Amino acid sequence: MGIVAGLDSSYGYTRIVVCDTDTGAVLRQGCAPHPPEPGQAEDEAGGAKRTEIDPQMWLMSLGEAAAGGVLEGVQAIGVSAQQHGLVPLDAEGSLVRPALLGNDKRAQSAAADLIDALGGRPAWAEAVGSVPTAAQPVAKLRWMARNEPEAAQRTAAVLQPHDWLVWQLLGRPPRQTTDRGGASGTGYWSAATGAYRPDLVELALGRPVALPDVLGPSEPAGTTPEGLLISAGTGETMAASFALGVGLGDVVVSLGASGSIFAVHHEPLADSTGTITSFADATGMHLPVVHTLNAVRVLRGTAELLGTDLDGLSALALKSTPGSHGLVLLPYLEGERTPYLPHTAGTLAGLRRESMKPEHLARAAFEGMLCGLADALDVLRGRGVQAGGEATGRVFLLGGAAELPAVQALAPAILGGQVIVPQAADYAAIGAARQAAWALGVAQGTLSPQQPPLWQGPSAQVFDPGTGETAGEPGADLAVGHAVRQQFAAVREETHPGAFTRG
């Protein structure tokens, strides 16, 4: 028995969990916001509006989160961090400019330029399993080259946030490292080949730079002078999946303002449309992801329109009936990525005098959001990915909106299978701790490099088809969900013909 720690450095906070190596039980926790930088308003400290940051703020936050002996007795640490950030370093390892974060949209035109420069979306999907977006480091490098040529010229090495934190914890050794999960989000590492594409870095930046070594799932990044083992680290999505124990047949639906749907798969997927992003996971498997631009923002917008909040919207929706009395909301409020409709807007169809009631609009918002997510889920299923469903596996729902009664009542029928709503927890930090326990066990000879520690699963509520509005009739529940999806698809196809068949 021993204890390990996992730390997660998100956009706004550092969270630390200390866990038992054998069971995964959380023994201690710590949390602190990233401090505001000079000139930054206090109410923006740690906020999602921040698009760049001095990485020293991450270390200051980590120190505060670890105060009071949180890390006392810990034998190994794993690091999870926000994905897609870019930390450019000069030849001496000093910061060239503040780190660019994943939510920075300034590189949108740079991403489009890169897509054209390599020969289109299919060429990128074949090369690295993803098509450049503004979030990815490859697009940020192109943006730097065009907008900050002096900084680009000084850049000798590039890291992502978890890479930089691991390097700092180890005392800035000559060797810099990352893991498969983090590397797969850069836009210049291929999960299919397990290798970098330095030519794509040069295409973006105009010159070569040093890239961190990619470690295996159970391989340590190193040991501190005090003897503390530091594992490879990974991105937040990969760490959360690892903490949840997601396996083949399971799917995770993350409900933020936008949505993401990912599943564990045995091989990488190249998707010529760019709809599927082929990430690697934290165990040696693969993690295909489909993103939607509209999830909880649809609910919040509808709630504001009706003069209520999310809880009130949920209560209203449950006063309506399946199909929302004929109302259908295509929830493409910010355009949409799945299907690829970047310049469209939302559509409300089926307005009749009898359907023009608050409860029907509220229900249409929930059904529209869930149908949009189900469409994204079908993209994975259509490529042979076992992804939820009555016969294949579970659907994990993450995010605060997963606690809404309307989501829990409607999701099993619309998503077509058992829905799991895990108890709120710092899953990215727990996943990082599990990785640390794995690396420690391998180093001590108590675990195999192929088998991670078998930790207890998360506490969760389980919702089966038939436990919702047609309780006791699973077949009826699934039939109702199918009918709602058919109604949604008919309006989508009429409004945006061939949206899912365009190349």
The least confident of 85-99, 179-193, 196-210, 456-470 is: 456-470
Sign of CA dihedral 203, 206, 208, 213: negative
230's tokens: 């530091």
Helix (H) or strand (E) holding 448: none
Q: How far apart are CA 279 and CA 287, in angstroms?
A: 5
Residue 348: count of CB within 10 angstroms of its CB: 16
pTM to 2 decimals? Answer: 0.92
- Which pLDDT value is given to residue 467? 59
Q: How far apart are CA 228 and CA 141, in angstroms?
A: 34
pLDDT digits (tens, 9 = 90+) for 307-338: 999 999 999 999 999 999 999 999 999 999 99
Q: CA 199 → CA 74, 195, 196, distances in Å?
A: 41, 12, 9
The least confident of 155-164, 260-269, 363-372, 380-389 is: 380-389
- Which pLDDT value is given to residue 475? 67
* 158 phi/psi in degrees, rounded to 5: -130, 135
Q: How far apart are CA 203 and CA 407, in angstroms?
A: 44
Helix or strand or coil: residue 202? Answer: helix
Among 97, 100, 232, CA closest to 175: 232
DSSP output for 134-197? TTSHHHHHHHHHHH-HHHHHH--EEE-HHHHHHHHHTTS-S--EEEHHHHTTSSSEETTTTEE-
DSSP output for 371-403? HHHHHHHHHHHHTT--B-BTTTB-EEEESGGGG
Residue type, 54: D
- Which pLDDT value is given to residue 271? 86
H helices within 251-306, ranges in order? 296-305
Which of 73-82, 268-277, 412-421 has the highest mean predicted lDDT (pLDDT)?
A: 73-82
pLDDT above 90 (res 390): no
Scan for tokens 């105060």, then name that residue: 67
Residue type, 200: L
β-pairing, 234-235 with 76-81?
A: parallel
According to DSSP, residue 44 is labeled G
User: What is the mean pLDDT of the segment spanning 81-87?
Assistant: 95
Degrees to nearest 5, angle at CA 99 with 184 and 120: 45
